[in-house]
Amino acid sequence: MKIISAKDYYYMSRMAANIISAQIIMKPHCVLGLATGSTPIGTYKQLIHWHKKGDLDFSGVTSINLDEYKGLSPDNDQSYRYFMNHNFFYHININLKNTYLPNGLEKDSEKACKDYNHIIQTSGGVDLQLLGLGLNGHIGFNEPGEAFEKQTHCVNLTPSTIDANSRFFENPDDVPKQAYTVGIKTIMQAKKILVIVNGANKADIVKAAFFGPITPSVPASVLQLHNDVTLVGDETALAKL
């Protein structure tokens, strides 16, 4: 694993954007695995900036996001589709038809997951997977559990994740309790993985995930078994390493 320490959030974002843009330049028709959350916003901003300057062309890129809340429509401003459109896709020249997220409006979980697995399988495989890290070690919405889940599945979000998300919703009853997420196997099959972390509140989980035992109770710990992981963090998130 490569660990890159950046002085602050801005430089963490710039470094992550550099790695993503190198991937696109090397392989213009690449498949990017993308993530939501507050951590990647700066990375997307930097990529948008380079695109607007004419340095980065997304026309050949396909994107496959990690997860989506079950029950939220694309025009709900808390859905991950809305997040991706507004924070990234609407500002670059990616073909929206080549951007994928699980279908949050599909009530039949089995169908939603099967459809998404099919999309992933036929995409040719993820070249570079961008990941944030949940406070409890989740990646995508693979929550701590008894076993590593392999493929796309429907998860019951943990109280700590529901609580972390509640800041975005006016009414606590509106906070989604379930989500569709790609599985650990899907994430591990990406050719390269780029994990970004910032903030002192992530320092303990960064240490547990990358230097603690490999266990489904810290889902991100499985990344220790991947042979091409880059961890980019600001100094506060990496402070305990």
> Hey, which residues are catalytic here?
67, 136, 138, 143
Q: How far is the CB of 145 from ligand GLP (least distance, A)?
A: 15
Q: How far is the CB of 132 from ligand GLP (least distance, A)?
A: 3
Q: How far apart are the first and last CA of the chain?
A: 13
Q: Which is nearer to ligand GLP, 58 or 83 (CB)?
A: 83
Q: Which is nearer to ligand GLP, 54 or 172 (CB)?
A: 172
Task: Give kind and range of the element (H or E) at residue 231.
Answer: strand 229-234
Q: How far is the CB of 130 from ligand GLP (least distance, A)?
A: 9
| Interface residue list for ligand GLP (CB under 6 A) | 35-39, 66-67, 132-134, 140-141, 161
Q: Which is nearer to ligand GLP, 123 or 160 (CB)?
A: 160
Distance, in Å, from the CA atom of 217 to the CA atom of 146, rounded to the nearest integer, reads: 7
**Residue 188 structure tokens:** 């591990």
Q: Are 31 and 2 in contact (CB under 8 A)?
A: no
The one-letter amino acid at 89: F
Distance, in Å, from the CA atom of 68 to the CA atom of 75, rounded to the nearest integer, reads: 13
